[in-house]
Amino acid sequence: MSRKAQFVLTQEPFDRFLARLDLDREEAGKKYEALRRKLITFFRYRDCPEAEDLADETIDRVIRKQGEEEIHEVIPYVLAFARRVASEAHRREPPGPPPPEPPPGGGERQLQLLDGCMELLPRTERALILNYYLHEKGQKIEDKRRIASSMGIAPTALRVRAYRIRRQLEDCVARKLDETTEDR
Amino acid sequence: MQRESESDDLLIRYLRRELAEAERDRVEEMYFADNQLHERLLMLEDHMIDSYVRAQLPPDERERLARRAQDSAEQRRKVEFAEALRRLAAREASAPPRHAWWEAVQGFLPVRAPAARMALAAAAVVMLVGPLIYFQYAKRASTPGRQATVSHPQPAVKSPAPQPAAPILAFVLAPIERSGGEENRVVIPAGEYTIRLQLDLEDGKIEGLSAAIQTAEGVRVEQIDGLKAQTVGPGRRAVFVSLPSSRLREGQYVVRLSHAAADRTTELVGGYSFRVERGR
Does A79 share its domain with A127?
A: no
What's residue B238's pLDDT?
A: 85
Q: Which amino acid is located at B229 in the chain?
A: A
- Of B60, B94, B128, the residue at which a domain comes to its end is B94
A150 neighbourhood in chain B, CB within 8 Å: 102-103, 105-106, 109, 271
- Measured CA to CA, the distance from residue A153 to residue A161 in angstroms comes to 10
State chain B's mean pLDDT as an integer.
Answer: 71
pLDDT confidence bin for B264, thresholds 50/70/90: low
Query: pLDDT grade, residue B148 (50/70/90)?
Result: very low
ipTM: 0.83
Q: pLDDT tens-digit profile of A103-132?
A: 555 567 888 899 899 988 888 888 888 878
pLDDT digit string, tens, across residues B5-20: 668 899 999 999 999 9
Tell me what the mean pLDDT of segment B70-76 comes to: 77
Mean pLDDT throughout B223-241?
81
Is residue A101 domain-resident? no
Given a cut of 50, whether residue B159 has pLDDT beyond it is no
Instruction: Work out the pLDDT band at B178, boundaries 50, 70, 90.
Output: low
Residues 31-50, chain A: which have Cβ within 8 Å of B? 34-35, 37-38, 40-42, 44-45, 47, 49-50
pTM above 0.90, yes or no: no
Residues in contact with A53: Cβ distance below 8 Å, sequence separation at least 6, in sequence order: A2, A3, A4
- Looking at the fold, whether B219 and B259 belong to one and the same domain comes out as yes
The verdict on A88 and A112 lying in the same domain is no
Chain B residue whose CA is closest to A24: B234
Band of residue B96 on the pLDDT scale cut at 50, 70, 90: low
Q: Which of A41, A57, A92 finishes a domain?
A: A92
CB of B230 within 8 A of CB of B240? yes
Distance, CA of B252 to CA of B134 (rounded, Å): 21
Q: Evaluate whether B196 touches B171 at the Cβ level (below 8 Å).
A: yes
A50 in the same domain as A24:
yes
Residues A86 and A126 grouped into a single domain: no
pLDDT at B128: 34
When pLDDT is cut at 50, 70 and 90, the band that residue A47 belongs to is confident
Q: Total domain count for chain B?
A: 2
Number of Cβ pairs < 8 A linking chain A and chain B: 184
Count CB neighbours of A98 within 10 A.
12
Confidence at B141, pLDDT banded by 50, 70, 90: very low
Q: Which domain, by its residues, includes A82?
A: 4-92
Task: Answer whether B80 sits within 8 Å of A151, measured CB to CB.
Answer: no
In whole angstroms, give the CA distance from residue A10 to residue A14. Answer: 7
Q: How many independent structural domains does chain A possess?
A: 2
* Inside any domain, residue A129: yes
pLDDT at B120: 40
Split at pLDDT 50, 70, 90, the class of B232 is confident
Testing the interface with A: which of B53, B79, B80 to mutate, by most A Cβ within 10 A? B80
Chain-wide mean pLDDT for chain A? 81
Answer yes or no: is pLDDT of B32 > 90. Answer: yes
Cα dist from A161 to A60, A133, B241, whole Å: 32, 12, 25
What whole-number percentage of chain B has pLDDT above 90? 14
- pLDDT for residue A119: 87
For residue A48, being part of any structural domain is answered with: yes
Q: What is the mean pLDDT of residues A36-54?
A: 91
Q: What is the DSSP string of B219-254?
A: -EEEEEEEE--EEEETTEEEEEEEEEGGG--SEEEE
Classify residue A11 by burial, with Cβ atoms within 10 Å: 0-12, 13-18, 19+.
Answer: exposed
Structural domain for B191, as ranges? 102-278
Claim to verify: residue A13 and residue A49 sit in the same structural domain: yes
The answer to the question of residue A37 being in a domain is yes
pLDDT of the residue at A95:
61
Inter-chain CB proximity B50 and A137 less than 8 Å: yes
Q: Which residues of chain B does A51 touch, with a Cβ-Cβ cutoff of 8 Å?
A: 72, 74
B81 and A CB contact within 8 Å? yes
Give the DSSP H or E segment for B210. strand B209-215
- Shared domain for B88 and B107, answered yes or no, is no
Question: CB neighbours (10 Å) of residue B59?
Answer: 7
- Which pLDDT belongs to residue B180? 56
Average pLDDT over residues B218-227: 82
Statement to judge: residues B169 and B245 lie in one domain? yes
Indicate whether B250 and B182 sit together in one domain: yes
Is there a domain that residue A28 lies in? yes
pLDDT greater at residue B166 or residue B42:
B42
